[in-house]
Amino acid sequence: MADNIPVTTKSPKEDFASDQDVRWCPGCGDYAILAQMKKVLPEIGVPREKVVFISGIGCASRFPYYINSYGFHTIHGRAPAVATGIKLANPELSVWIITGDGDSLSIGGNHLIHLCRRNLDVNVILFNNQIYGLTKGQYSPTSPLGKVTKTTPYGSIDRPFNPISLVLSAGATFVARTIDRDTKHMAEIFKRAAAHKGCSFVEVYQNCNIFNDGAYRLLTEPETKFDQVLYLEDGKPLIYGKEKNRGLRFNGFETEALEMNESAENKDLPVHRENSENEAYAQWLSRIGDVPGLPVPVGVFRAVQRPTYEQLSEQQLAGAIQKKGPGDLKQLFISGDTWKVE
């Protein structure tokens, strides 16, 4: 079952646009993400002053300047650390981490996986453009093998990370993917991420039209996208294609692609379960997109409930006070062995 989406009190007409000039390149996919975020935020029921955007460094990471909420543009790769402190200091805040593929998977890889395992209730939005944008076009940990970039004139020899797989193995409790060009889907996923209690990770395929234009062309062009993208829907079979006539199923752990003459919707195909207990299922899904010929799943790969870090932390604090009484400075000082000099 998916998480409930408690879109309760809509903040009445709050405007999340900030007064800063947006300084991305014209045509950058980041604009679409910003637009959806500004659209979604008023709908998630958290007033502006309780929203905090935290980012590292990169084109993506300029995002906080463009949202009129609290924000922190930190240093390269370290937004999860800062977010952890913020959320533990004030668990009531709605905390969003905005990061790029370099920021979160290169220099910041460790903080990201630790964030996931701790299951802090924050939302990570990873703008994956498979390139370092801000530093003008070096390859990133998601650039494909053989990719020619400024620092790989002979082609990259680093096998890319699969971010979905990585955060799954690190223990993320909500894992999803969406595409900059599919704004409706993106908005839906952002809302789901916001609603999820626990660490939500959203990979957004984002086009960098300056240094890596067209990285996702197959997934966004009308001629190809229907056969290249599989929309995950909880409780629904894994089907795709313009006519919904293509489907996936697993045989053991191997993937079978099926093509039929008619819609596959009511065929006997295994259905998608976001909350499948065994992580291996989502892991399997995460690898499908890497296989040539198979579609790239977008949507929610996994959504399960686990206690959040800040809940547990608050509980320990409360428990300690219950057990020992609220800390008393005088008592603290005279605890242990003391002696009196008259």
Partner 1 sequence: MKNIQEVSRVTIRFAGDSGDGIQLTGNQFTRTTAIALNDLSTLPDYPAEIRAPAGTLYGVSGFQIQFSSQNIHTPGDEVDVLVAMNPAALQSGLKSLKKNGIIIINGDAFTERNLRMANFSENPLENGFLAGYQVYPVDITRLSRDALEKIELTHKEKDRCKNFFALGMVYWLYNRSMDATVEWIERKFSRQPIWAEANVLALKAGRNYAEATELFATSYRVPEAKIEPGIYRQITGNEALTFGLIAAAAKARRNIFYGSYPITPASDVLQYMASYKHFGIKTLQAEDEIAAIGAAIGASFAGDIGVTATSGPGLALKSEFLGLAVMTELPLVVMDIQRSGPSTGMPTKTEQADLLQGLFGRSGEAPIPAIAASSPADCFYAAYEAVRVAIRFMVPVLVFSDAYLANGAEPWKIPDTEGLPEIEIEFAKAGEDYAPYLRDPQTLARRWALPGTPGLEHRLGGLEKQDVTGNVSYDPDNHEKMVRLRAEKVQRVGEFVEEPEIYGDSRGEVLVVSWGSTYGTVLTAVEQLRKEGKSASFYHLRWVNPLPKKLETYIRRFRRVIVPEVNLGQLRRIIRSTYLVDAVGFNRMKGQPISVSELKQAIEALLEEKNNGR
Residues contributing to the site for ligand TPP (CB under 6 A): 57-60, 76, 100-103, 127, 129, 131-135, 140
Residue 20 makes contact with partner 1 by CB under 8 A:
yes
120-139 residues in contact with Mg ion (CB under 5 A) are 129
Residue 133 makes contact with ligand SF4 by CB under 6 A:
yes
The CB-of-5 to Mg ion minimum distance in angstroms stands at 29
The CB-of-28 to ligand TPP minimum distance in angstroms stands at 9
Among the listed residues 251, 207, 193, 191, the one whose alpha carbon sits nearest the alpha carbon of residue 36: 191
Please select the residue that binds a second copy; options are 31, 91, 287, 305, rule is CB under 8 A.
Answer: 287
Nearer to ligand TPP, 140 or 228 (CB): 140
Distance, CA of 309 to chain centre: 17
The CB-of-184 to ligand SF4 minimum distance in angstroms stands at 22
Nearer to a second copy, 14 or 279 (CB): 279
Among the listed residues 162, 163, 161, 133, the one whose alpha carbon sits nearest the alpha carbon of residue 149: 133
70-109 residues in contact with partner 1 (CB under 8 A) are 70-78, 80-90, 92-93, 106-107, 109
101 binds, among Mg ion, partner 1, a second copy, none (CB under 5 to 8 A by kind): Mg ion
- Residue by residue, what is the 3-state secondary structure of 18-75? CCCCCCCCCCCCHHHHHHHHHHHHHHCCCCHHHEEEEECCCCHHHHHHHECCEEEECC
- Phi/psi for 206 (5° steps) reads -125, 130
Nearer to ligand SF4, 84 or 130 (CB): 130
Among the listed residues 292, 163, 284, the one whose alpha carbon sits nearest the alpha carbon of residue 227: 292
The rounded distance, in Å, linking the Cα atoms of 309 and 319 is 15
Q: Are 171 and 189 in contact (CB under 8 A)?
A: no
Please select the residue that binds a second copy; options are 48, 114, 197, 267, rule is CB under 8 A.
Answer: 114
252 binds, among a second copy, ligand TPP, ligand SF4, none (CB under 5 to 8 A by kind): a second copy
Please select the residue that binds a second copy; options are 1, 148, 280, 334, rule is CB under 8 A.
Answer: 280
The CB-of-222 to a second copy minimum distance in angstroms stands at 31
The rounded distance, in Å, linking the Cα atoms of 311 and 121 is 9
Nearer to ligand TPP, 11 or 138 (CB): 138
Among the listed residues 204, 167, 199, 206, the one whose alpha carbon sits nearest the alpha carbon of residue 189: 204
263-322 residues in contact with partner 1 (CB under 8 A) are 313, 316-317, 319-321
Nearer to ligand TPP, 58 or 247 (CB): 58
Work out the number of other CB atoms within 10 angstroms of the CB of residue 120: 25
The rounded distance, in Å, linking the Cα atoms of 124 and 202 is 6
The CB-of-195 to partner 1 minimum distance in angstroms stands at 20
Among the listed residues 159, 169, 188, 65, the one whose alpha carbon sits nearest the alpha carbon of residue 112: 169
Nearer to ligand SF4, 42 or 137 (CB): 137
Nearer to ligand TPP, 91 or 109 (CB): 109
Structure tokens at 163: 């971010």
The rounded distance, in Å, linking the Cα atoms of 216 and 137 is 16
The rounded distance, in Å, linking the Cα atoms of 273 and 47 is 32
Nearer to Mg ion, 59 or 86 (CB): 59
Nearer to ligand SF4, 135 or 283 (CB): 135
* Interacting residues with a second copy (CB under 8 A): 106-110, 113-114, 117-119, 141, 154-155, 157-162, 165-166, 168-171, 250, 252-255, 270, 276-281, 283-284, 287, 306, 309, 312-313, 316, 319-320
